[in-house]
């Protein structure tokens, strides 16, 4: 804690969401950022998908901005060409950690994508930075304990796992619980905490204790990414 006059400035929250392609990184990052906004904090959400920089947060940028987030993402009019024609980091992204307020980094594209973090100025030295790997056990490369362990080991710096196991609209409680068991077991082997189990807000009633069957805290997700391309 740092005291400035009589105003107390809390430590800021800096979190990066990494993980396998289509594991739910963006959905978790967006929801986490909004949760912080709702608690009265100033929050920057940074879209660091440099492989497909025009498709991730761009379609919902305005909606998120209206909800009080500072969204740092490319806009179509600012650029020319397609993701596959080359990727550029936006200067605001490179310097994102210098911004006032919390910073949530949505880092696209699996293991290669996780290296994008190296492009963010000051990331390696930032004492607040927490990197969370988002895992859905119904995704092909992270289905079993062993697969998760080897996958997360490839990601580099990781401080915790998020169990985001689901089957889209067909998700049942037992699917989430099965995911919680596998992810918790993998986390134990990796000596990492399970930061949360992410659950669609539609299933809120079923998780009224705020914890999953393994005792991990539950974070409820409102789905925004359905309104994006991918």
Partner 1 sequence: MTEKPIQGERKMFLTGNEVVAWAALAAKVDIMYGYPITPQNEIMHYWTRMAPKYGKKFLQTEDELSAGFTTIGGVLAGKKAFTATAGPGNTLMQEPISMAEMMRIPTVVVIQQRGGPSTATVIYSQQEVTMTTYGGNGEGFRVVYSTATHQELFDYTIKAFNTAWKYRFPTFVLGDGYQAKMRESLHIYDPEEKGIKLVEPTPTLSRPGQIGVNREPNHIRNTYNTEEELYQIVMGYAKEYAEISPEIIEFQEQDVDDAEIVIVSHGVVSRAALAATQELRKAGYKVGYFRPITLRPFPTERMRAVAANTKKLLVVESALGQLNKLVLNEIYGLTTPIETLLKPGVGVTSEEIVTRIKSLL
Measured CA to CA, the distance from residue 63 to residue 71 in angstroms comes to: 10
Nearest to 135 by CA among 226, 42, 198: 198
Q: Do residues 184 and 147 make contact, with C-beta atoms less than 8 angstroms apart?
A: no
Decide if residue 167 touches partner 1 (CB under 8 A).
Answer: yes
Decide if residue 230 touches partner 1 (CB under 8 A).
Answer: yes
Measured CA to CA, the distance from residue 147 to residue 186 in angstroms comes to: 9
Decide if residue 166 touches partner 1 (CB under 8 A).
Answer: yes
Return the residue of 84, 125, 205, 227 that touches partner 1, per CB under 8 A.
Answer: 84
CB of 145 to partner 1, least distance (A): 16
Beta bridge mates, 7: 4
β-strands 43-47, 160-163 pairing: unpaired
β-strands 43-47, 194-200 pairing: unpaired
Return the residue of 5, 6, 76, 170 that touches partner 1, per CB under 8 A.
Answer: 170
**String of contacts with partner 1 for each residue 109-148, x by CB under 8 A:** ---------------------------x-xxxx-x-----
Return the residue of 9, 65, 82, 124 that touches partner 1, per CB under 8 A.
Answer: 82
Query: Count of residues binding partner 1 (CB under 8 A)?
Result: 18
Can you count the helices (H) and strands (E) in the chain? 6, 10
Give the interface with partner 1 as residue ranges (CB under 8 A): 21-22, 55, 82-84, 136, 138-141, 143, 166-168, 170, 229-230
């Amino acid at each position: 804690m740092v005291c400035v006059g009589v105003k107390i400035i809390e430590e800021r929250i800096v979190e990066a969401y990494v993980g396998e392609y289509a594991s739910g990184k963006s959905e978790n990052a967006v929801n986490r950022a909004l949760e912080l906004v709702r608690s009265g904090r100033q929050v920057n959400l940074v879209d660091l998908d440099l492989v497909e920089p025009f498709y991730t947060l761009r379609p919902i940028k305005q909606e998120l901005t209206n909800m009080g987030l500072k969204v740092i993402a490319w806009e179509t009019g600012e650029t020319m060409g397609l993701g596959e024609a080359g990727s550029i980091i936006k200067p605001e992204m490179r310097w994102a950690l210098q911004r006032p307020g919390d910073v949530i980094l949505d880092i696209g594209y699996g293991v290669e994508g996780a290296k994008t973090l190296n492009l963010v100025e000051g990331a390696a030295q930032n004492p607040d930075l927490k990197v969370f790997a988002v895992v859905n056990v119904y995704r092909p490369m992270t289905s079993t304990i062993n697969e998760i362990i080897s996958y997360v080991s490839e990601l580099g710096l990781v401080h915790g796992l998020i169990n985001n196991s689901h089957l889209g609209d067909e998700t049942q409680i037992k699917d989430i619980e099965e995911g919680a068991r596998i992810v918790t077991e993998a986390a134990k082997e990796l000596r990492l905490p399970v930061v949360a189990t992410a659950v669609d807000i539609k299933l809120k009633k079923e998780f009224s204790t705020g914890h999953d069957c393994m005792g991990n805290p539950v974070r409820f997700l409102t789905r925004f990414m359905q309104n994006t391309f991918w």
